[in-house]
Structure 1
C-alpha cells in the first residue's frame, strides 16, 4: 500500500502504526528547498512549532502545489529534494541538533500526517521520549 493510502487507513482508525511508519520509511518524499534554493544553500524547508523542527514533505508534486497555493506562493518555482522517508529521519533529523520530525502533506486536511521525534520513527538518540543517558546507566 502506498503512503497516502496508509495514512487514510490510519486516520480512519483501522490502520497499523508499524505499517504506517514502514510505508513512510519506504516512500520517496518531496522536500522543498528553503528559500527556493536550487543549489542547496539554506537547506530544507521546515517550521519550528512547540520546540520541534518540522520538515515539510510531500508524497507528490500535486500535494506540494496545494501547500504552495495555501501559502500564497504558487506563482514561484519550488525546487525540492526527492528523498526516502528513512533517509530523511535517519540522516537529516540527527543534523538538526534538537527535536525534529516530518510533516507530510500538511495542506491536505484529510490526508496529512505528522511523524514526530519519538522512538520507532527517528533514531533513538534523537527521540524525545527516550532518555539515552538514563537507559545506559549501570546500576551498581
Structure 2
C-alpha cells in the first residue's frame, strides 16, 4: 500500500474535537454529523429491527460509531460476548431527524464510545429537532 487511506469520518472526528474545545458551535457540529455515515447496534424485535439505547439516570444514550471496526472494538473491549454484533448504517441526519425522535424523550448520542475522541451529545437545540430538544431545565 502506497498510502494510508483517510478515515471516512475524519471530518466528524475533527469536528468533535473542535466542539469539545469550544472552537465550533453545536450547530456546526450538527452539520458535519448530518453528512457522516455512522454505525449503530440493532436487535431483532417483533419481526423488525430496533436500535439499542442504554439508560443512564434521567437520559438514554444511543451509541453510534464512525467505523465498523470501532463498533466491534467497543463490543469486544466491553466484554459483551463473542457473538457478532448486528448493526445498521445510517447517516447522522437519519439518526438526528428520524431515529432520536422515535426514542424516549431525552435520548442523546454517544459517538465512538471507548475511544480517545468519544463524545456524548445531549439532545439539545441546534443539534436535534426543536420538538425533542431539552431545555436547560431538562424539559
Q: Place the TM-score, normalised by the shorter chain, in its bin.
A: 0.7 to 0.9
After superposition, give the CA deviation of every residue in 1:104-124 in whole Å (9 maximum; x if it has no partner): 00111x211112111011111
Cα contact 1:105–1:112 (8 A) shared by 2: yes
Say which of 2, 6, 19 aligns to 2:15: 6
Give the greater-gyration-radius structure (CA).
Answer: 1
Change (3 A) 1:9 1:128: closer
* TM-score normalised to structure 2 length: 0.79
Deviations 1:15-70 (A, max 9, x none): 31233221111111100113xx4997461111011211211100001211221122
TM-score (norm 1): 0.78
- List runs of 5+ in structure 1 lacking aligned partners: 132-140
Q: Which residue of 2 is the match for residue 121 of structure 1?
A: 127
Q: Which has the higher strand share?
A: 2
> How many equivalent pairs are there?
127
Task: State yes or no: 1:53 paired with 2:41.
Answer: no
Q: Separation in 2 of the partners of 1:107 and 1:40?
A: 31
How far apart, in 1, do the equivalents of 2:114 and 2:130 lie? Answer: 29
Give 2:31's aligned residue. 22
Any unmatched runs of 5+ in structure 2?
Answer: 1-9
Higher helix share: 1
Whole-angstrom distance in 2 between the partners of 1:84 and 1:123: 15
